[in-house]
Amino acid sequence: MQQRSTPYTIGIIQMSMKPEPEANMQRAEQLLREAKAKGVQVACLPELFRSYYFCQSENHDYFTLAEPLPGDTTQRIAGWAKELDMVIVASLFERRAAGVYHNTVVVFDADGTDLGKYRKMHIPDDPRYYEKFYFTPGDLGFKNFDTKYGRIGVLICWDQWFPEAARLTAMQGASVIFYPTAIGWHPAEKAEYGEEQWNKWQTVMRGHAVANNIFIAAPNRIGFEPETDGGGLEFFGHSFICDTSGRYIEHADEKFEGVLTAVIDPKKVEKQRQYWPYFRDRRIDAYGKLLEHPSA
């Protein structure tokens, strides 16, 4: 497929969440309109932006937050995309069937067309990140989406730690990979490990940018979100966009709420891949062991 080579402007949204889905939808719309005013053509919201991060506990009541896709929420976001002439990447809690749920991104083209889904492939299970209780692993593989403005890739949060996911997404021709995210600190760990944790999170993705000659854009949420057991997480923000050399274009702290922007130039991606031909030099004949678990 002939890909567009015209530069385009992306925007990632860092925001705090409220308990009520409607409040978050209204705030998301407000920030998308702010993005439009900044010239954004492709915008990405944080992971599971419609609610608090409910995976902090294993609670069957939270399944009521899930919704069919397509549904009322996708119809509403499609309307925003069409009105704003903006591609929108939106992370939603998908109810596929009774007992089968996914952490899913839907990509809307600038005319409101639903271009398809990406279902999160890697599902974590850690203290306060009990996603295996809620989500079935994705079954759609790694995806690219051809939008009005350019070809993009999308992964979700925990996918960030896996170079295989970035490589398989980048190899399909995208100029940028979006990583909608919900990651934060356990409050008791922040003083000792806080800076290390967000630095590690950024560094691994910046490495994906370098190894695949691709732009990376990762929007995170901010703010403390309590849980009914008395605990909670403080989401550390630090959303960023980096170029094909892993250099920051935009970088937020843990308090900023708003839109970060950057210009994506597909010609720069192609040129970098000519000078640094990692894809050419891959030894696919020697990678069979990647399909096996580590051995002692």
**Could you give the residue numbers annotated as active site?**
47, 120, 157
Which structure tokens are listed for 236? 């550390």
The count of other CB atoms within 10 Å of the CB of residue 57 is 14
Closest residue by Cα to residue 202 from 238, 232, 250: 238
List, in sequence order, every beta strand (DSSP E) within 1-140.
8-16, 42-44, 87-97, 100-108, 114-119
- Name the residue among 117, 102, 107, 90 with its Cα closest to residue 25: 90
SS3 track for 209-259:
HHHHCCEEEECCEEEEEECCCCCEEEEECCCEEECCCCCEEEECCCCCCEE
Place of tokens 């860092």: 14
Is the CA virtual torsion 233, 190, 105, 258 positive or negative?
positive
Length of the chain: 296
